[in-house]
Structure 1
Amino acid sequence: MQTSRFFVPAITCLLFAACQGREQPYGTGPDNPAADKDTGAAATPLAGVYTDTVPCNDCQGIATRLTLKPDSLYELQEVYLGRPNPTNYRRGPWRVRGQVVTLAPSGNDPVRRYQVEAARKLRLLDADGKPMQADNADYTLNYQTDGNLSETGTRREFTGRYTYLADAAVFVECGSDKRYAVAPADLNSDLQRQYGTTRKEAGKAVFLRVSATVKSQTAQAGTGTEEALVVDKILEMKPDPICPQAVK
């Protein structure tokens, strides 16, 4: 996996984090729950898709697409233009402290940080926590869209609290607290069986991470329709329904 030279100093960001204090999770509510009493840009919900092409020391630029999901997971894709093997992909949890968004390390890639600026922009920070600057180069990612992260037909990873009782299943997403039903086709699958052996007692929630697609279905209770998850893969299930946002 190749990376640009301007990212190499970021390895020391791990030491920088230790000096700056504990980072706090960031959800999608209107308030910034960081320990710092910052206001302004960081108080804006940050979940969404950020894109731009940032400068590169030894290539034609890095086409970057960063998705900050409402459940505090991120996906980062970088395409190093002009290289024979250009694509770098990483994923993991994201956090915020004050007005600094942190992407947790992934594989051999170090931690990465961005300063939250006005108009929902993210500026890459160097190893000292200062905005990247070089010959007036722009290292800023621009907010593009919320990514339709919860619309019908969206397929992505979800983390949250899952409960199954009386032939009905409910999933509450971490970070957004958005409630989803679970499509009936999945109620007799491995999901239901694994829940039965994982939960502490009947009807109690468990922590669940799945790959799933959002669909619209007839409401299980009342009239009308509701959003539901069609689960295609169980990635993780634990008896304690603790979301990443609750880990201090």
Structure 2
Amino acid sequence: MTEAVPLDPWAALRPTTQARIGLPRAGMGMATTTVLELSTALAAARDAVHVPLDTGALLPGMTELGLGTPIELRSRATDRALYLRRPDLGRVPEGLDGLPSGAWDVGFVIADGLSSRAVADHAVPQVAALVKALGHEFRLAPPVLVTQARVAIGDWIGEAMGVRTLLVLIGERPGLSVADSLGIYLTHEPRPGRTDAERNCISNIHPPAGLGYAEAAATAARLVAGARALGRSGVDLKDTSGAPELP
């Protein structure tokens, strides 16, 4: 009589999360398949950080959005190694020459951040969703593509362009579950010296497993409208559209 194989209690839970739960073991260590999966995920995360963003591949898609000719800039971090060692240099543009100025309500900065893969995969369709959600109500500025960039670099760009509310789309720090997550940081009345407490963040954008483009754009549109009504962004600005009502 053969001994019954015990059921895996984690099998029903694994499809509900990207976290690695109930990892199988082989003796005192992890199973070979698990070790290989972790090694693959680590390699994808490293590539997301170190592979340069191909801005040339993004330009046609950005141009087709009808916002005007995209502008390319870079930060004061001259290469990736310096960018990773000196976050401060990634927060300041090398120059602001060639930036148009106008009375725009909303501007877009697309920054490589810590995941070039996230920007390459999601930036164009996410900006397209933002244009659809915002374009009927607000005046939208031409997009600016920035490499070796941190979030705060948008403060310089937004102020120079005269943008009232700035949306920075940036590649988020990759992990062993997700290497292509995009974030949107909203800053009202951008200018150098703004702190993270004066921004709002929409994170984990990477459909189909993460937040979808239309949902992220709808949230951004509500935050833009709220920032204009409140006169500021950050900790005082909340999107409560999805919060349940208390009895």
More strand by share: 1
TM-score > 0.5, shorter chain as reference = no
TM-score normalised by L of structure 2:
0.24
Larger radius of gyration: 2
TM-score normalised by L of structure 1:
0.24
More helix by share: 2
